[in-house]
Structure 1
Amino acid sequence: METQKDAVMALVEAHRQAGRAVGEVLAGLGIARSTYYRWKRGANRRPAPSRRTYPLTPEECGMIDEVKTAHPEYRHRRIQGVLQGWGTYLSASAIYGYLKHRGQVEPYDRRSAPWDSPRYEAWQKHLLWGSDWTRLSIAHLRWYLLTVIDFFSRCVVAWDLVPSVNAGHVKAIYRAALAAEGIPSSAERKPELRVDRGSPNTARVTREFFEILGAELSFARVRRPTDNAITERFYGTVKQEEIYLVGNYPDERSAREEIGRYIAHYNTQRPHQALFNFTPAYVHQVNNKTALVNELEGMKKATREKRKDYWINLEKSDSLNSLILSH
């Protein structure tokens, strides 16, 4: 059918160049003008020939095996992030297919997406920070992990362990975050702090502190956890990967050491899917989404070219060996 369409369009074009009207030629062929021009539009939109794909190289398979052996609990997307940190980009589907072939794909219960969209937009660091606290056990007593997280990079910029949370701790953690990021208290523009409506956050002294400092304190809407989703997501992660695994820290010193070690790992080593599998600290450093996307695209291209060269060279080598053996 496509060949017939091409032949008709070529014939009409030849007559048009010879001086005949397109409508006259189409009438003679019994083809409606709308049909002819629809064919022409379709011809201009035909997809380009598909690019040849190459299977994973033995080196790439070995890298997947290395990560899976060291971390059996990692799934394909987490492995993708680790390999990206090593400078090799493999698609999540390729890693999944390899693991499935080896029978190493575990069942996974997907969580449903939240109903409400988050009420924020951060396109660079230091625009919007989120703060909250979560409970943990130290010497079988209730303590709290208090953090400040940058909404652009998801980097934990400040944290503390306290036996209880009051307005003084909220003020202190914000001051600590400013100091950690090198932002002076006299700066004209300071990051907005997004918090929930807990009493330490809504206290009069807390509001006055932010008014005097010249920083904005914003509150998540009632029953809208997505307004502070970045912070909530971090606490879900730290609970599953650190706090719940330990259960109870023997004393404050060991708790600070272990929590500090985990946060350093989270910031500098743990790839984050929402950050194109870069680490929060790296995204915080680059501070440019376009640059991150370009770096990822360059990594993809380099990996594809390396894989292509491997299989082409292997085919050439096999052909040469066959030629030698035939003689």
Structure 2
Amino acid sequence: MQVHREEFRVCAMCRVLRVNRAGYYAWLKSPDSERAKEDERLLGLIKHHWLASGSVYGHRKIAKDLRDLGERCSRHRVHRLMRTEGLRAQVGYGRKPRFHGGTPCKAAANLLDRQFDVTEPDTAWASDFTFIRTHEGWMYLAVVIDLFSRQVVGWAMRDRADTELVVQALLSAVWRRKPSAGCLVHSDQGSVYTSDDWRSFLASHGLVCSMSRRGNCHDNAPVESFFGLLKRERIRRRIYPTKDAARAEVFDYIEMFYNPQRRHGSTGDLSPVEFERRYAQRGS
């Protein structure tokens, strides 16, 4: 009735809707309830965390953010407030299912064998690359992910999907983490990962090579999952005007959001950085 007051007379609306006119005016004068005031305050916090996530978090993750701040609210209440305000999580898009049993790896043994849950950092890494569209041409992003925390420990971008791209990503991971000899590095059987330069780099740094079965993306599922998040939450929404713009967006997503802030289901809904911090505290 409030919305349509300029179009229709109040008495006419009350008669059609069978609402007592005196009761309607009394409702207009009544102050907001304490519950409504609290909802308004919570909604401000919800909007802040939703925007801070790049407009990708849903009600479950935002509810955890609020509880970390000491707020006492259920995820159902957060869901109701977000739905009322039109705040939605970014959701995936349909993909045709691909099934491939795989064949025995001829390049290197599949030492990882889908054992994605490891108990210590820098014992098993996974690598792959993907493409990003810009108006200046394609850019390619290679990443190295620590399977312990799902943190992106190394990454590189180039305008060519060559061996130098993946070696640069691995070099940045080695420089940042300084893993002990024997750290497993898993990848697919792409030509860049079967190259002499890749094998030579692994050997010179005491890293152990592991490769997926041919044509089986599920053998490298954690990296596929990361690329899915990246494309769904940032890249898929735009074609970047320049290659530098794409690089800046990837930096912001990985270093400013995904690693330090984004909650991950495999780490108890902690961010990769927070998960490793708590692990280090337990060991000290």
Question: What is the deviation of 1:99?
Answer: 5.9
Question: What is the deviation of 1:192?
Answer: 1.2
Matches within 5 A, 1:65-214: 65-70=43-48, 71=50, 74-88=57-71, 92-93=75-76, 95-96=78-79, 118-183=114-179, 187=180, 189-214=181-206
Unaligned runs of 5+ in 2: 1-34, 102-112
* 91 and 232 in structure 1: CA distance in 2 versus 1, 3 angstrom threshold: farther
Distance 2:92 2:233 in 1: 17
For 1:66, give the aligned amino acid. Answer: G
3-state secondary structure, aligned to 1:126: coil
Question: Over alpha carbons, which structure has the higher Rg?
Answer: 1
For 2:249, give the aligned amino acid. Answer: E
Q: Which has the higher helix share?
A: 1
3-state secondary structure, aligned to 2:127: strand
* 130 and 73 in structure 1: CA distance in 2 versus 1, 3 angstrom threshold: closer
For 2:118, give the aligned amino acid. Answer: A
Question: What is the deviation of 1:111?
Answer: 8.4
Distance 2:41 2:119 in 1: 34
Distance 1:144 1:91 in 2: 41
Distance 1:259 1:275 in 2: 22
Distance 1:98 1:251 in 2: 38
Distance 1:134 1:76 in 2: 29
Distance 1:141 1:110 in 2: 24
Matches within 5 A, 1:24-63: 61=39
User: C-alpha deviations, 1:270-293, integer Å up to 9, x for none?
Assistant: 2223322211111122236x96xx
* 85 and 159 in structure 1: CA distance in 2 versus 1, 3 angstrom threshold: farther
CA contact (8 A) 1:194 1:218 kept: yes
Question: What is the deviation of 1:105?
Answer: 8.8
3-state secondary structure, aligned to 2:242: coil
3-state secondary structure, aligned to 1:194: strand
CA contact (8 A) 1:64 1:79 kept: no
Partner of 2:278: 286
Partner of 2:227: 235
* 75 and 231 in structure 1: CA distance in 2 versus 1, 3 angstrom threshold: same
Distance 1:76 1:120 in 2: 27
168-177 vs 230-239, greater mean Cα deviation: 168-177
Question: What is the deviation of 1:90?
Answer: 5.2
240-249 vs 81-90, greater mean Cα deviation: 81-90
* 135 and 60 in structure 1: CA distance in 2 versus 1, 3 angstrom threshold: farther
CA contact (8 A) 1:68 1:74 kept: no
Question: What is the deviation of 1:140?
Answer: 3.2
Distance 1:88 1:222 in 2: 49
Distance 1:109 1:259 in 2: 19
Distance 1:66 1:204 in 2: 55
Partner of 1:263: 254
Percent identity between the two aligned chains: 24
* 79 and 63 in structure 1: CA distance in 2 versus 1, 3 angstrom threshold: farther
User: C-alpha deviations, 1:36-95, integer Å up to 9, x for none?
Assistant: xxxxxxxxxxxxxxxxxxxxx889755642344343764221212322443557554564
Distance 1:190 1:89 in 2: 46
- The root-mean-square deviation of aligned C-alpha atoms, in Å, is 3.6
Whether 1:274 aligns to 2:274 is no
For 2:186, give the aligned amino acid. Answer: R
For 1:263, give the aligned amino acid. Answer: I
Unaligned runs of 5+ in 1: 1-56, 292-327
Distance 1:103 1:129 in 2: 41
Distance 1:59 1:106 in 2: 22
